[in-house]
Chain A
Amino acid sequence: MAMLEVKNIYKSYGSCEVLKGISFSMEKHETKVIIGTSGTGKSTLLKCINQLDPPDKGEVWLDGEEITNPLIDINKVRQKIGFVFQDFNLFNHLNALKNVSIGLEKVKKIDKEEARERAFKELERVGLEKQAYQYPAQLSGGQKQRVSIARALAMDPSIILFDEPTSALDPELIGDVLDVMKSLAGKVAMLVVTHEMGFARNVADEIIFMEGGIIVEKGPPKQMFTNPKMERTKQFLGKISTLYGKE
C-alpha cells in the first residue's frame, strides 16, 4: 500500500464545487508537483489532505491509517504532515530558532535543550544558522520561507505539503528556496503546488495537472512536457512555458 492515498475527494464551498473526485497516491520519498491555473482547487486539495479543511466526501490514508476518520487523533497525524504556506506564517513573536523548536517542545514534548539543538541543525540545513536569533520581521521573504521549511522538517514528517512556496517571493529569492527543496528530494516525500516549471521538470517524479476540480492528466515530467496525452495539458504547458521561460 502506498504511503499516502487520496481516494475520490470531493469538496464544496457553498454551491461551488471545488474538488470533484480527486484520487492519487504517493510512495515514500516521492516528489510530486501539482500544476494548474489558479482557482482549480490545488490549495484546497492540500488542506483536505492534512484535514485543515476536511473533504466532504472521500478518504485520505497515510501510512495505512484512514485520517479522514473523525475518530482519529488528528493532531497526532498532523505531526507527520509538514505544511509550507505561500505566505510563510512564521510565528511573529518567536525568533527563527524558536519557530523551529516550538513544535518539538510543545507537541513532541522534547526536552528544551535537545529541541534547541535539533532546531539549530534544521536551520543549518536550510542555510540560516546565522539568522537563528532574528525575528520573522527581520528576515527576507526567502529566509522566512526557508525557516518555515526547517520548521516542517524538524517534526520528522513523512510528507511535506508545499502550497505555492515561492509565489510570494521576489524573483531573486526564489532560487534559494527551490535549492533547499531540491536538496530534500528523495529524503522526504513532497507534494508541491507550484508554477515553477523548472522545479517541476527537474525534481518531480510525477506531475499532476489539475483543472476544474479534477485531475486532467498525470505522468512523469518528461512525458508531460514533451508528449502530453491531453490537448488541454499541451495548451497549459505551452502557455506557462512562454510565461516563465523554457528550461
Chain B
Amino acid sequence: MSITFILTIVSLIVGFVLGISLSLGRVYGNKTISFLCISYIELIRGTPLLVQLFIIYFGLPSIGIALSPLNSALLGLSLNSGAYQAEYLRGSIQAIPSGQMYAARTLGMTKLQSIKNVILPQALRISIPAWSNELIYLFKYTSIASIIQVSELTKQGQLIASRNFRYIEIFLIIALIYIVFTFIFTEVIDRITKKMSIPGIGIQEKVRPRLA
C-alpha cells in the first residue's frame, strides 16, 4: 500500500518539476530547446508506459545501469508523468492572453521575472483540474509496476490471491481501495481548487448537480 503512495507522490512531484521545465522550454525556449522538449514529450506520449518500464528495467542493465524494480518504476512513472504534465501546463500557458506578458515587460520585468510572477501563477491555477486527472491516472497506473515485480497494491493482491485462490474477493477489495482513495483525492483537489480560485481565472464554480 505505502509503495503505491510513494510511487504516486514521487512521480507526481518529479513529473511536475519536469513538466514545468519542459513546457517553459517548449513555449519560451529557442528553436533547439523547443525542439528537444517537443521530441521528448512526443517520444514519451507515443509509447506505452509498459514498454518504457521494460526498457528501463530490462533494457538498461545491458548498458550497465541496473535499477531495482522500485527505482525503475519511480523513474519510468516520473518521466512519463513529466511529459503529460508538460502538455497540461503548455495548454494553460497558451491560454493566458499575450497582453499579460507585455504588461509585465513594460514594467521592466525580465522575461524570467514575467514568467515567474505573472504567467506561472495564472497558468498553474488553470492547470489544477488537469492535475487532479494526472494524480488519479498516476495512482492507478502504479499498478503497472506490478509487472516488473514492484510489490505495490496490485502485486500484493496477486501474492495473497495466489496463496488462497480467492481471486474475486481479493481483487474486489483491491478495486475498492483504489476507488476510495481516488474519491478522496478528487475531493481534496476540489477544495484546493476552490481555495486557490481567484475571480477571473480558470473554472470558478464547479457545476455539479448534487444528488438528493
Query: Could you tell me which A residues sit within 8 Å of B by CB distance?
Result: 50, 52, 75-79, 81-83, 85, 87, 89-93, 102-103, 106-107, 135-138, 148, 151, 155
Contact = CB atoms under 8 A, between A and B. Distances in A.
Contacts of A92: 100, 122, 198, 200-201
B99 A102 contact: no
B107 A107 contact: yes
Given A102-B117, A135-B199, A83 B106 contact: yes
A135 B103 contact: no
Nearest to A95: B198
17 contacts: A52-B105, A75-B110, A79-B108, A82-B106, A85-B103, A91-B103, A93-B118, A93-B198, A93-B201, A102-B107, A103-B107, A103-B108, A106-B117, A136-B199, A137-B199, A148-B103, A155-B107
Interface of B: 97, 99-100, 102-110, 113, 117-118, 121-122, 125, 198-201
Contacts of A135: 198-200
Contacts of A136: 199-200
B193 to A, nearest CB: 14
Contacts, number: 73
A242 B125 CA distance: 48
Contact of B122 (A52, A93, A155): A93
A135 B125 CA distance: 15
Given A50-B106, A52-B106, A155-B108, A93 B121 contact: yes
A78 B107 CA distance: 6
Given A52-B102, A93-B121, A93-B125, A137 B200 contact: yes
A78 B99 contact: no
A137 B200 CA distance: 5
A46 to B, nearest CB: 10
Given A102-B107, A135-B200, A91 B99 contact: no
